[in-house]
Amino acid sequence: MIVNGEKAPEKPQPAPSMQREKDYPASTPQRAPERVADWDKEDAPRNIPQKKQKYERPARTGREPGMVSLVLNVGRKHQVTPADVVGKIAGVTRLPANVVGAIDLHEDYLLVDVAAEDADLIVGKLNGIRVKGNMLQVKRAEQA
């Protein structure tokens, strides 16, 4: 190379092993092979299920024999947990916790299965009691 009429000293070239490859570096992932007919289980594209909508599941309550469903006016938005409900029923009524069955926690309300013989006692004692700062209103669930 000639600069200002004089020959400039040439830069030393790096060793061949140190030269950058013009292709992608080894750390870049390679594309998947273009084959479809002979996919192995490990290679096959996965069927990714679509996201379920929130709260879309079958009811848990109302299935056990000898149990009655009750509706309480508190739910997820009141930050009530199933443990709060079981604890309140057992604490206020002095009944064992096993009288409480399945609990369906929804956004604004919850459904709880209780033993049929204790349902009226639970409804009577829990009405007006506070849970997480909210006054409870308890009633039997109407069968659909």
Q: What's the pLDDT tens digit per position in 13-61?
A: 666 555 555 555 566 566 665 655 555 656 656 665 666 565 566 667 6
Q: Which residue has the higher pLDDT, 90 or 35?
A: 90
Q: Is residue 11 part of a domain?
A: no
Note whether residue 4 is domain-resident.
Answer: no
User: What pLDDT, on the 0 to 100 scale, is given for residue 96?
Assistant: 92
On whether residue 20 sits in a domain, the answer given is no
Taking only the tens place, the pLDDT of each residue in 100-136 is 999 999 999 999 999 999 999 999 999 999 999 999 9
> Is there a domain that residue 100 lies in?
yes
- Could you tell me which residues come within 8 angstroms of residue 90 by beta carbon, excluding any fewer than 6 positions away? 96, 97, 99, 100
Domain that holds residue 74: 67-140
Structure confidence at residue 142 (pLDDT): 78
Determine, yes or no, domain membership for 39.
no
pLDDT band for position 144 (50/70/90)?
A: very low
CATH number of the structural domain spanning residue 133:
3.30.70.330
How far apart CA 106 and CA 77 sit, in angstroms, is 8
Q: Look up tokens 């007006």; give the residue.
A: 128
| Residue matched to tokens 């308890």 | 138
**Domain count of the fold of the chain:** 1
Question: Is residue 17, in this structure, part of any structural domain at all?
Answer: no
The band of 94, judged by pLDDT with boundaries at 50, 70 and 90, is very high
pLDDT at 63: 75
